[in-house]
């Protein structure tokens, strides 16, 4: 079986938060018509306005022409109903990190899109096998895991679940490469590659904080300035969003039968309880705005 996405084919992005907006920005700049859907209409408005501003800034800096910026902006469409993505060749889901909600969305999408459309999840940690298991055709479900911020981060993990069709994974890999990304194939294991390896980075940060070894700015500064990391664990979690990061930790912890190495932090749970989600809510470990 050969699956190929044509260069100008329609891409649907479901969920227009931090990740969905970035994916839509990159896909439209790469020449696709992009349809963006979110259950919160204001999230679509904010995302499209934000992307438009970024295109203008890129044009001002000479990184794209003003004509290219206008054309990319014109290829982006907010839609008010899932039924409006019926002509998508690829649907990339970037909604809340919850297995049941993602399964429900894909079940609905299966009744809307064409038989040969590819369904991709940007999940950080949930089993691709599990997300696809309830579909009529689980072979068309694949992980397309971008990193934050999407326009700047090169890596895309293309995740195959047990039932994922190899040709579907390859088509998504080729699509990511055509968008200027550096994709890598991986199997659906808890946390995949990056989020598995990165768990101790966050977990040890929280343990240091709990033991009052140093405060968050000091730990961040040490890892950034002496450790060679681009960001320390707390500033990075503020960027990712504590709700997202906490869900990922829980999901990896559960998948490994409660292995204490992956234990979530009660401090982070309290931040989530307080709604201190990081940059996106104006406050996390640090204040913003």
Instruction: Give yes or no for a cis peptide into 149 (omega within 30° of 0).
Output: yes
Pick from 20, 78, 143, 233: which binds ligand NAD (CB under 6 A)?
Answer: 20
User: Per CB under 6 A, does 281 bind ligand NAD?
Assistant: no
Nearer to ligand NAD, 68 or 254 (CB): 254
Two structure tokens written together for 176: 């990511």
Structure tokens given for 200: 């101790």
Catalytic status, residue 145: yes
Nearer to ligand NAD, 94 or 113 (CB): 94
DSSP code for 241: -
The beta strands (E) that lie in the chain are given as: 11-14, 34-37, 76-78, 90-93, 118-121, 141-146, 155-160, 182-187
- For strand 141-146 and strand 155-160, is the pairing parallel, antiparallel, or unpaired? antiparallel
| Of positions 123, 164, 249, 265, contacts ligand NAD by CB under 6 A | 123
In this chain, which stretch among 33-41, 51-59, 135-143, 263-271 interacts with ligand NAD, using CB under 6 A?
33-41
Binding flags for ligand NAD, 142-171, as an x/- string (CB under 6 A): ----xxx-----------------------
Catalytic residue among 125, 157, 188, 242: 157
Residue (of 225, 217, 218, 244) closest to 94 by Cα position? 244
| Dist CA 273 CA 153 (whole Å) | 29
Q: Which of residues 124-143 bind ligand NAD (CB under 6 A)?
A: 124
State the minimum distance, in angstroms, from the CB of residue 112 to ligand NAD: 13
Q: Which long-range contacts (CB under 8 A, 24 or more apart) does 55-62 make?
A: 55/25, 55/29
| Residue from 195, 245, 247, 265 carrying the catalytic annotation | 195
CB of 279 to ligand NAD, least distance (A): 10
Residues in binding contact with ligand NAD, number by CB under 6 A: 27
Q: Which residue carries 């839609």 as its tokens?
A: 79
Catalytic residue numbers, as ranges:
124, 145, 157, 195
State the residues that interact with ligand NAD by CB under 6 A: 14-20, 38-40, 43, 94-97, 101, 105, 122-124, 146-148, 240-241, 244, 280
């Amino acid at each position: 079986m050969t699956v190929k996405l044509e260069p100008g084919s329609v891409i649907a992005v479901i969920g227009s938060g931090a990740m969905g907006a970035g994916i839509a920005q990159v896909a439209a700049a790469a020449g696709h018509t992009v349809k963006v859907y979110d259950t919160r209409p204001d999230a679509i408005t904010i995302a499209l306005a934000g992307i438009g501003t970024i295109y203008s800034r890129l044009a001002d800096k000479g990184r794209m022409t003003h004509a290219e910026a206008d054309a990319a902006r014109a290829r982006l469409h907010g839609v008010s109903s899932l039924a409006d993505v019926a002509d998508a060749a690829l649907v990339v889901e970037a909604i809340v990190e919850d297995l049941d909600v993602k399964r429900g969305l894909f079940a609905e999408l299966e009744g809307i899109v064409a038989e040969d459309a590819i369904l991709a999840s940007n999940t950080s940690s949930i089993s691709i096998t599990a997300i696809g298991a309830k579909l009529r055709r689980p072979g068309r479900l694949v992980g397309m895991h971008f990193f934050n911020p999407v326009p700047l981060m090169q890596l895309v993990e293309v995740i195959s679940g047990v039932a994922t069709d190899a040709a579907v994974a390859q088509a998504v890999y080729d699509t990511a490469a055509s968008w200027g990304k550096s994709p890598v194939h991986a199997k659906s294991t808890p946390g995949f590659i990056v989020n598995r390896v990165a768990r101790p980075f966050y977990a040890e940060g929280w343990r240091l904080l709990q033991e009052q070894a140093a405060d968050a700015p000091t730990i961040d500064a040490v890892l950034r300035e002496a450790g060679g990391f681009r960001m320390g664990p707390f500033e990075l979690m503020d960027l990712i969003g504590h709700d997202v990061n906490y869900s990922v930790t829980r999901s990896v912890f559960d998948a490994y039968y409660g292995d204490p190495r992956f234990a979530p932090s009660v401090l982070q749970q309290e931040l989530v309880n307080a709604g201190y989600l990081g940059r996106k809510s104006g406050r996390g470990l640090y204040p913003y705005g």
